[in-house]
Chain A
């Protein structure tokens, strides 16, 4: 089972537009093991977010299906924790309440109120934001908001964590800090992760495998690169390593030689 924990099976997605049908994804098949960190990388518009949304259940595949822990996925559900690019915290709820909304939905029927609160606190602890639990999103920096988003996604103990360019809107320094933090959290929780990114360094640093997507229309998997760097990984130590450079170069080669597009 662990070999095929999350199965993406011959997924196709066609959008109906005014100019006729537009095939965004063509025959995508991918198996992800339990505890694996897989990144989807590609130029913007290649359909990597579409694929993530299909796994999340926010979009229906035109053909094919998604199987998670031996059950077919139909529609969105709390067995998948999603972190959106724009944090998507509700501005009228505090950090605590934002996470509590998710926790209550998933564990509210079985757990006592005190236990729910404890769970929220533990999730905020994980992203080191216990001190900000009573703050509203507009009182937080972009990086802190994204950390609350991660806490919310993890608090419901999802089978898989789906990250849609989670650090894309952050500045480089904050992004680096959050990447380190994500590595620590994933190591501590043993989460299975599928992440969309367009950042080569981020993909190599965080992933066990990087799925390289070809350009749309009819985007598909152009290649899969196994990142066999030992963990725990340390960005400064890696930066000088020859193997790290080679992996990085391979991704860059794919993105900028094989999949270069004029307008990108």
Chain B
């Protein structure tokens, strides 16, 4: 608080004129800062607007990253430099939706196929995980029952489930979807259950005082109160799913951005691998931002 008037003083040139205005200062020293603060300073140091450094910083960061990459590429090895990668990327993205047989398709198809797998696996996980989370949150006994199983299975790498998926489904595509399902499940169950357990007692008292029906309680109180937690669960799940799909597709093959990375490695096309890395990163970022927007839409207070 006191820092604000202090900077105003330093911006001002020493005052020459001593007029009746200063009497108040002498009479009431406490008013000094308050009365002098609103006076317009005689000159104002021009300052850059506040948003400028905030907008520049990420650009500088990206530029430094590219420079570092160029230096590393120059130093030797087989790392392609940014310029040739850029040209290659323009080439790849100029025709993203071509199809030349099952193992040679445009990057657009690869990304869409991966997103489709994530969507299906994740959607099924939501259908199972959210109701399960509600039940675990509502009934202590169920939650105590499920706790050891969830605690043991949650830290397992999703890829460890792949062989079981291959064994059960005897096909690569459902196995990959199943891995996504398994890894999306835990964050959704756990966050929904936590949300149900954290519903303020005040809201439940309102429901009790009014004797609301179970269905109304669910629609008007439980569901909206848990929604922000659920969205957090969804966000974590999608993040993990997008991480895992690349690895799963490397193992299962077919179409998909993960398979594409592996395929280009076999072709020794390192530029395409780097393009794939950036594509995966940007799609992941877009998914994350979409979920943050969604969460903001449903946050109260």
Chain A interface residues toward B at CB < 8 A: 56-58, 75-78, 80, 82, 84, 86, 88, 90-93, 101-102, 105-106, 136, 138, 156
Whole-angstrom distance between the Cβ of B89 and the nearest chain A Cβ: 44
Alpha-carbon gap, A71 to B50, bound state (A) = 67
Q: Are A90 and B205 within 8 A (Cβ)? A: no
What are the interface flags for B204-241 relative to A under an 8 Å C-beta threshold, 1 for contact and 0 otherwise?
Answer: 01101111100010001100110000000000000000
CA distance A77 to B211 in the complex (A): 6
* A-chain residues with CB within 8 Å of residue B212 when the two chains form the complex: 101, 105
Q: When chains A and B are docked, how far (Å) is the Cα of A138 from the Cα of B301?
A: 5
Q: How far is the CA of A84 from the CA of B300 in the complex (A)?
A: 20
Query: Given the complex of chains A and B, what is the CA–CA distance between A84 and B220 in angstroms?
Result: 19
B139 interface contact, C-beta 8 A: no
Inter-chain contact B205/A58, CB cutoff 8 Å: yes
Chief secondary structure at chain B's binding surface: helix
A92 to B203, CA, bound (A): 11
Determine which of A78, A90, A93, A136 lies in contact with B209 in the assembled complex, contact meaning CB atoms within 8 Å. A78
Closest to B202 in A: A88
Other contacts beyond A58-B209, A101-B220: 6, CB < 8 A: A58-B208, A77-B209, A82-B209, A84-B206, A90-B220, A138-B301
- Report B243-275 CB contacts with A as 1/0, cut-off 8 Å: 000000000000000000000000000000000
Total contacting residues, chain B, CB less than 8 A:
16
Instruction: Given A84-B205, A86-B202, check contact A91 B211 (CB 8 Å).
Output: no
B203, B205, B206 pick with most chain A CB within 10 angstroms: B206
**CA–CA, A106 and B211, complex, Å:** 9
Q: How far is the CA of A90 from the CA of B223 in the complex (A)?
A: 12
Give every chain A residue within 8 A of B210 (Cβ-Cβ).
76, 78, 101-102, 105-106, 156
List of 9 A-B pairs having minimum Cβ-Cβ separation, nearest first:
A91-B300, A88-B202, A92-B224, A76-B208, A82-B209, A76-B209, A138-B301, A105-B210, A88-B206
CB neighbours of A75 from chain B (8 A): 211
- For A101, A136, A138, the residue with the greatest tally of chain B CB atoms inside 10 Å of its CB is A101
Residues from chain A with Cβ under 8 Å of B220 in the complex: 90, 93, 101
The answer to whether B208 and A84 have CB atoms under 8 Å apart is no
B224 and A90: CB pair below 8 A?
A: yes
Question: Across the interface, do A136 and B205 meet the contact criterion of CB distance under 8 Å?
Answer: no
Q: Are B211 and A90 in contact (CB under 8 A)?
A: no
CB distance from A209 to the nearest CB of B (A): 24
A105→B216 contact, CB < 8 A: yes
Separation of A78 and B216 alpha carbons in the complex (Å): 15
Please name the residue on chain A nearest to B221 by beta carbon: A90
Contact of B203 among A58, A82, A88 (CB under 8 A): A88
A156 to B212, CA, bound (A): 13
